[in-house]
Every structure is written in C-alpha cells, then in structure tokens.
Amino acid sequence: MIDIVGKRNWFFLISLIIIIPGIISLAVRQLNLGIDFSSGTTMTLQFNTTVDQSKLRQEMSNLGFSEASIQKTGTGDYLIRVREISTDEKNSLISGLNKDMTDNVTIRDFETVSPLVAGEVARNAGIAIIVTSLFMLLYVAWAFRRVPNPFRWGTCAVISLLHDVLIVLGIFSILGWAAGVQVDSMFITAMLTVVGYSMHNTIVVFDRIRENFGRGISKDFAVTVNASILETIARCVNTSLTVALVVLAIYLFGGTTIREFMLALLLGVIAGTYNSICIAGPLLVLWDRGLAKSEPKSKPQAAPTAA
Amino acid sequence: MKTTNIWLLVFILAIFIFGLWTVIPLDSDRFGRQGLTLGLDLNGGSYLVYQADLSKKDPSQTNAQVMTSVISKIERRANTFGVKEPVIQQQGEDRILVQLPGEKNIDEAKTLIGQVAQLEFKETTSDSSGQPTKDANGQTIWTVAAATGSNGQQEVLTGKYLKPNAKVVLAPNTNEPQVAFEWNDEGAKLFEQITQRNLHKPLGIFLDNQMISDPTVNGVIQGSGVIEGLTLKEAQDLSIELNSGSLDVPLTVIQEQTVDATLGADSIRKSIVAGAIGISLIVLFMLLYYRGSGLVAVCALAIYSVLLLTIFKLVPVTLTLAGVAAAVVSVGMAVDANILIFERMKEELRGGRTLGAAIDAGFSRAWPAIRDSNVNSFIACAVLYWFGDTQGAFLVKGFALTLFIGVALSMFSAITISRIFLMLVIRIVKNPWFYGVKI
C-alpha cells in the first residue's frame, strides 16, 4: 500500500518549495496591480492599417503618454494602459492618433477607475478572502461535529485552502514581473472560486476519513487517514480533471479577455487536488500526533517505505 | 420501479420538455423574454459609476432625498435621449450606477446624464459711461439675477421655475436652432422684473456657469423666451436637461467601462467554441471512464444544460463573459457529484452488492460529501456576490450569481436526474462492466 501519510514531510517540502519563492516574490515585488486596484485607464484600440508596436509607442509618447504600457492582443488590436484620463483627454488622444497615423481608430473597450474606487477594491478583496475562510471553517467544524475535535478538521481544511491561495498568489506575483500579468478584480473572483472548489476535494477526503474513523478500521489514526486518501484518490483526480478540462478549453480558446482569469482557476484546481491528496489529510495526522512528537514517530515509519 | 420514481421521471421529462420549448430557438419569445439577456461586455455598452458630491446639496434636504431626485432626473434624461433599457441604481450612499446597453454615442450620453444643467440669468451693472462694468482684465462682470418673489423674498431665477416643456425650435429668420421655454407663474413674475430693469441691456444666459449667450433685452418679457447661440446638438441636450430639471448636486465619473459591440460578439463566438470543446472533452472522458454510468451522467448533463439556459432566460440572468465562463465551469463541477456517486457505486459493486443496492448505497453514502462540498461553494459565491456588489463590479457579480445557480442545479441533477436514469438503465443492462467495474 502506498504510504502517503508517512511521506507527509516530503509533500510538505514540495509545497514549501513552490510556496517560498512565491512568498519572496510577494514580499519583494508584491503583485502587479491592474487598474481595479491601482486606478488608471485601459483601452483596447483597433487599427485598420497595420501598425507597428514601436511606432505606436512613439506616437503615444508624442501625445504625452510616454508611460503608457502597450500590448498587442490580436490582429490590429492593442491594449493600452495609461493613468486615469477624462473623456476629453480620451477624445484628443484618439484624434491625435488618427491624425498622426492616418488611421481610423476604433475603441473596442474602454475602462477607467479612479483612485477613490481602487482603494476600496483592495480592502474588500482582503475582507472577502478572510470572511470566506472563516465561514468555511465554521461550516466544516459543524459538518464534522460528531467526530472528536471538529475545529481541528475545520482548521486543517482552511490551512490547506490558504495553501492553494498562497500558491496561486505567489505564481501570479512572479508572473507579474516576469510576464507583465496583472491582477484585477476578476483575479479575486478566481481566488474565491479556487477557495470554494479547493474545499470540494478536501471534503471528499475528510468525509471518507470520518466514515472510516466511525467504522474503526484501524486504531492508528494515520493508517485510517492513509487508507481514506487511497480510497478516494481516483475520484479526487477525476473530479478535478473534468473541471480542469473545461477551464483549459476556455483558457486556450476563450479569448484574451479571460485568459488570466482561467489561468488562476487552473492553477487553483491543480493546487487544490494536490493538497487534498497530499496535504490536508496528513495535516490532520500531524496535528493528532502533536508537532513535537511527530518527528521521531514518522521517521522510522517513513524509512522502510522509502527504501 | 417504485411509483414515486415513476412520477419523478415524468416530472423530470416534463421540465426537460418545458426547458427545450423555452430555449429553442434561443431568441424565441417566451413569457415575454426574448433570447438570453446579455451583459454589456457581450452586447456592447457602457457601465458608469458616478460619485455625487453631497457636500454641495441644499442643506434642507436629506442625502436620501437628494439621491432619489438625482436618479429620477438621470432616468428621465436617459429615456428622452433614447437609451434602450438603461439601468440606473444607487450604490452605497453617494454613488450612482448607470448602465447604458448597446449605446453608440456613449460620450454624448455620458455628458448629457452627468451635467448638472443649472440654468441661471446674470445681469451687468453700468459704469459712468453707460457701458457694462468690467474687471481689471477687461471682462464683463456678471452678477446672478434675482427678483422679489411672491413671498416677498429675493429669489434667484433658475431653471427650477421652468415648465417641463422646453423644446428645440428653429429661428424664423435665420434657421438657427433655439430652445424655447416657458416659465411657471412664479418664474414669469421674476422674469418680468429682471427684464424690466435690464431693458436695452445685455442679459447673460448661463448653464453651469458657462455663458451660452448674452442677448440684449428688447422688451419686458413674462411667460416665455428662447435661448439662442447653440448648435442643434447642444440645443437638443439643453432641452432634455431643462425638462428633466437640473441635478441637485454635481456628479463625477469615478469608474467607467465601455465595450464595443464587435468586441462583445467576438467574445461570444470564442466562448461558444471554448465551451463546446470543454464540454465535449467531459463527455468523452465520462463515456470512456464510466461507460454506461457515464452515459447516464451525460444525459443528466444535457438536461442540466437545458435547465440552466431556461433559468438564465426566464429569470432573466444577465450573462457576462465571466458568467458564461462560470456556466461552463459549473458544467465541469456538475459532473463531480456524478463521479463521486459512480465511484461509490463501483466500490459497493466490488463489495458484492447487487446493482440496485449498490446504486442506493452509492447515492446515500456519497451525499454527505456532495452536500458539504457544495455548501462551501455556496459560501464562496455569497461572499463573491457581496464583494462584487459593494464595489460595483458587474463581472464579479455575474460570475457569482451564475456559479451559484449552476452549483444548486448540479446538485439536483446528480441526486435526482442521474439516479432515476440509473434506476431505469439497470432494468435493461445488468452487466457490472457497463457500470465501470473491472471484472
């Protein structure tokens, strides 16, 4: 029998290897905030003639927007991010571009957020994640009220959920400076969906542990947990696979507008599956044995299986 | 088969047929709903959040009164301008959310809606030579014209004394556009005094402190007048604004999203392709891995999809790009419950139970996990909806609402539809291989 619980320290290590660079990146570079959080204007401009990106950049800085970020998003489509601009400024910018580039530019998408709103979004996003975690902790504790220490189950479920949040946040922080990926309110939406979905598989595993625990399949809690994980591993992978398939399909074919949103979901689903198999259950065992006692007990157990 | 199950089957088929009739063809008119309601990111349009400056309000009014008044004036303006189905709502204490679907001349609509449109008349004083007094820069000094009202107090003459019937007319001689207006009794009384004392002198007409024109008063006027010096467009806007009344407080745009209809159409096309590919992959996976049970899940999924569209159409749920994504993702999640049940069923079959008993056990034992995991999704959706609502992010709200409906419906689909179908199928096929068990 595969001993997942016995190898838990290896799995914790793998998670840390993924999470720590993310945390360092978060600490040093934070997240690359989109206009929802930092205020400003984004617009998608469509040019009828072929436009060279460097020429567009030149024109933009001639018109007084040297700080503009310009990104090609499709044939003739450019996504432009500038500081918050008014309707008048927008109109003069467009007529300036039309004149200098002898084109008839269409604004396909125009979005502007003032600093007034932007500050609130960041605060509300934080509140949203905390409130969700809290309610889930309470619900899981309630759902597992018949087993000993229900709050322990709730806490482990929430820790494993924050594990997923940290992985996605960290990767997006790295992508922020490495690939210019920005974080907007849709990212928060993805995070909360990840939070909700990450719970699905954890609950499936916990539910089986609850059932096996009630049937008393083993006196050793670690054996019960390990058996439960192995019994549910196929369905955890399959349920995630179906969601991952659709998310991947939208990521690949759904257009640029929601690509980053889908990437966050995909990473979250993968992290959530890994965590419900390799992290959530072992966390319960770790807590059961106590942090201090777990080291000497787990080592002799892990050694024979590793050999 | 038990009678309750037969009735349940009849019920499922009935709502399925009802759903099919409702959604096919998609743009058919059913119960007054034509087609699906698309958000402005798919249909094109503009989403604006205005911040009202309540510090500038009339102190005798409460904040709530001011906001209600401003909103009703904006509604009147949007409707007169010809915006189709505008959404105008208060958000928080001092913000107004305006959605203008499919609006082409968005900048014009925006200016029209957000302008205070305070109409005032200003007069000059004469210096020793009989010319209007000028300041050090040579600019004419204008002072707001007031006169004695019927209560004996000095009242400033503003647009609030107008009858709401201002209209654009063309000047008889010049064909220049003008706005013709009529005063109510009180306004007429004030206007008479003001024109009387400014006879043969210029009278400035100001909109939001910007001078429109300064005609010379040629005679004492009471009931009505015209405003000149406007382009046709300006005259049309001004008449709409005067008729709706000036806004009680100034507004500024703090958030805007405007999407061109062609971009929306692109998004719809891509979503359909992506959704079709994603769902096909799920169907393929379910059939290959769970065989006959998978087929049952796929049938349940088809019913689920039709019912989901029916709810979207009839409620109606405004579908945004994120909402469509949520709907597709919810299809992925809808099969989750089926997978949990089938896996459990396989276990029970391997444990030596008969098909019927295995199905019953599969459903009843998988239920706690399905319930608990979906409750967590509901929690996430509820918080998301709150988050989207407080910050006015319609995309976020759309996603949360759609996902919530999807998850709720998926529970019904897995627990009821899949079970009834399986009950039916086991009467025909009894080989465990068909239900995904290796033998």
Q: Write down the pLDDT at residue A126.
A: 80
Q: Write down the pLDDT at residue A173.
A: 92
Q: Write down the pLDDT at residue A168.
A: 92
Residue A271: pLDDT band (50, 70, 90) is very high
Give the residue-averaged pLDDT of B281-300: 88
List the one residue out of A305, A114, A102 whose CA is nearest residue A222.
A305
Q: How far apart are CA A83 and CA A67, in angstroms?
A: 8
Q: How far apart are CA B319 and CA B313, in angstroms?
A: 10
Q: Write down the pLDDT at residue A302.
A: 39
Name every residue whose Cβ is closer than 8 Å to that of residue B264 and which is 6 or more positions away in sequence. Answer: B38, B40, B41, B42, B43, B44
Please say whether the dihedral angle defined by the alpha carbons of residues A184, A189, A191 and A192, taken in this order, is positive or negative. Answer: positive
Pick from A161-175, A181-195, A276-290, B198-212 the range whose average pLDDT is largest. A161-175
Which residues of A fall within a CB distance of 8 Å from B387? 124-125, 127-128, 188, 192
Q: Is the peptide bond before A115 cis (omega within 30 degrees of 0)?
A: no
Burial class (CB in 10 A: 0-12, 13-18, 19+), B173: exposed
Give the residue-averaged pLDDT of A217-227: 87
Q: Write down the pLDDT at residue B93.
A: 82
Q: Write down the pLDDT at residue A100.
A: 76
Q: What is the pLDDT of residues A68-100, one digit of tens each?
A: 888 887 777 888 888 888 877 888 888 888 877
Distance from CA of A267 to the nearest CA of B (A): 14
Q: Write down the pLDDT at residue A19.
A: 92
Cβ-defined contact of B286 to A110 (cutoff 8 Å): no
Q: How far apart are CA B210 and CA B212, in angstroms?
A: 6
Q: How far apart are CA B363 and CA A193, in angstroms?
A: 26
Cβ-defined contact of A128 to B365 (cutoff 8 Å): no
Residue type, B287: L
Length reported for chain B: 439
Q: What burial letters (b/e) apply to B371-386, b meaning 16+ CB within 10 Å?
A: ebbbbbbbbbbbbbbb
Residue B351: pLDDT band (50, 70, 90) is confident
Pick from A109-113, A245-249, A298-302, B240-244 the range whose average pLDDT is largest. A245-249
Residues paired with A19 in a beta bridge: none
Give the residue-averaged pLDDT of B189-215: 84
Q: What is the DSSP letter of B59?
A: T
Q: Write down the pLDDT at residue A194.
A: 84
Q: Taking CB atoms and an 8 Å cut-off, how many pairs form between chains A and B?
A: 217
Q: How many other C-beta atoms are found inside a 10 Å radius of the C-beta of residue B291?
A: 18
Distance from CA of B263 to the nearest CA of A (A): 6
Q: Which of B126-130, B290-294, B334-338, B364-368 has the least mean pLDDT?
A: B126-130
Residue A298: pLDDT band (50, 70, 90) is very low
Q: What angle do CA B97, B103, B109 make, to 5 degrees?
A: 65
Chain position carrying tokens 């008889």: B172
Q: Write down the pLDDT at residue A40.
A: 85
Q: What burial letters (b/e) apply to B57-73, b meaning 16+ CB within 10 Å?
A: beeeeeeeebbebbbeb
Q: How far apart are CA A100 and CA A106, in angstroms?
A: 15
Distance from CA of A137 to the nearest CA of B (A): 10
Which residues of A fall within a CB distance of 8 Å from B373? 199-201, 203-204
> Is pLDDT of A240 > 70?
yes
Structural domains in chain B, sorted by start: 3-37+260-435 (1.20.1640.10), 41-114 (3.30.70.3220), 119-251 (3.30.1360.200)
- If you write DSSP's letter for every residue of B85-100 in order, what string do you get? S-EEEEETTTEEEEEE
> Is pLDDT of B417 > 90?
no
Q: How many other C-beta atoms are found inside a 10 Å radius of the C-beta of residue B262?
A: 12
Distance from CA of A242 to the nearest CA of B (A): 5
Residues paired with B252 in a beta bridge: B51
Q: Write down the pLDDT at residue A295.
A: 47
Q: Write down the pLDDT at residue B394.
A: 67
List the one residue out of B58, B46, B59, B54 whose CA is nearest residue B95.
B54
Q: Write down the pLDDT at residue B144.
A: 85
Name every residue whose Cβ is closer than 8 Å to that of residue B437 and which is 6 or more positions away in sequence. Answer: B346, B349, B350
Q: Write down the pLDDT at residue B335.
A: 86
List the one residue out of A60, A61, A83, A79 whose CA is nearest residue A70.
A79
- Structure tokens, A279: 């992290």
A8-34+116-306 has which CATH code?
A: 1.20.1640.10
For A40-113, CATH number out of 3.30.450.40, 3.30.43.10, 1.20.1250.20, 3.30.70.3400 equals: 3.30.70.3400
Is the ipTM here above 0.90? no
> Is pLDDT of B238 > 80?
yes
Q: Write down the pLDDT at residue A266.
A: 93
Chain position carrying tokens 């295995």: B358
Q: How far apart are CA B198 and CA B216, in angstroms?
A: 8
Q: Write down the pLDDT at residue B393.
A: 66
List the one residue out of B385, B401, B404, B403 whose CA is nearest residue B393.
B385
* Option in B258, B285, B340 nearest A110 (CB): B258
Any A CB within 8 A of B390 CB: yes
Cβ-defined contact of A199 to B377 (cutoff 8 Å): yes
Q: Is the peptide bond before A282 cis (omega within 30 degrees of 0)?
A: no
Q: Write down the pLDDT at residue B312.
A: 87
Which residues of B fall within a CB distance of 8 Å from A241? 285
Q: Write down the pLDDT at residue A303.
A: 37
* Exposure of A240 in the CB half-sphere (CA atoms within 13 A): 28
Q: How many other C-beta atoms are found inside a 10 Å radius of the C-beta of residue B428?
A: 8
Please say whether the dihedral angle defined by the alpha carbons of residues A185, A188, A194 and A196, taken in this order, is positive or negative. Answer: negative
Chain position carrying tokens 């627990």: B415
List the one residue out of B312, B430, B377, B346 whose CA is nearest residue B26.
B312
> Is pLDDT of A67 > 50?
yes
Give the residue-averaged pLDDT of B193-211: 84
Give the residue-averaged pLDDT of A151-162: 89
Which residues of A fall within a CB distance of 8 Å from B365? 211
**H or E element: which one contains B74?**
helix B63-81
**Averaged pLDDT score across all residues of chain B:** 83
Chain position carrying tokens 């909700």: A196
Q: How far apart are CA A292 and CA A295, in angstroms?
A: 7
User: Structural domain boundaries of chain A?
Assistant: 8-34+116-306, 40-113
Cβ-defined contact of A203 to B373 (cutoff 8 Å): yes
Q: How far apart are CA B195 and CA B224, in angstroms?
A: 12
- If you write DSSP's letter for every residue of B234-286 in order, what string do you get? HHHHHHHHHHH---SS-EEEEEEEEE-HHHHHHHHHHHHHHHHHHHHHHHHHH
Which residues of A fall within a CB distance of 8 Å from B270? 253-255
Any A CB within 8 A of B333 CB: yes
Cβ-defined contact of A117 to B254 (cutoff 8 Å): yes
Give the residue-averaged pLDDT of A199-224: 87
* Option in B41, B331, B383 nearest A128 (CB): B383
Which residues of A fall within a CB distance of 8 Å from B41? 257
Q: How far apart are CA B336 and CA B344, in angstroms?
A: 12
**H or E element: which one contains B178?**
strand B177-182
pTM: 0.79
Which residues of B fall within a CB distance of 8 Å from A85? none
Residue A293: pLDDT band (50, 70, 90) is low
Q: Which residues 301-330 of B have a C-beta within 8 angstroms of A?
A: 321-322, 325, 328-329
Residue B215: pLDDT band (50, 70, 90) is confident
Q: How far apart are CA A3 and CA A9, in angstroms?
A: 12
Q: Write down the pLDDT at residue B383.
A: 87
Q: What is the pLDDT of residues B83-132, one digit of tens each?
A: 777 888 888 788 888 888 876 667 777 777 877 778 888 888 777 776 77
> Is pLDDT of A174 > 90?
yes
Q: Write down the pLDDT at residue B438.
A: 67
Q: How far apart are CA B327 and CA B304, in angstroms?
A: 11
Q: How far apart are CA B397 and CA A192, in angstroms?
A: 12
Q: Which residues 29-88 of B have a C-beta within 8 angstroms of A?
A: 41, 49, 51
Distance from CA of A301 to the nearest CA of B (A): 29
> Is pLDDT of A299 > 60?
no
Q: How many other C-beta atoms are found inside a 10 Å radius of the C-beta of residue B167?
A: 14
Distance from CA of B400 to the nearest CA of A (A): 8
Q: Write down the pLDDT at residue B439.
A: 56
Which residues of A fall within a CB distance of 8 Å from B372? 139-140, 143, 203, 207
Q: Write down the pLDDT at residue B280.
A: 92
Q: Write down the pLDDT at residue A306.
A: 35
Give the residue-averaged pLDDT of A191-213: 86
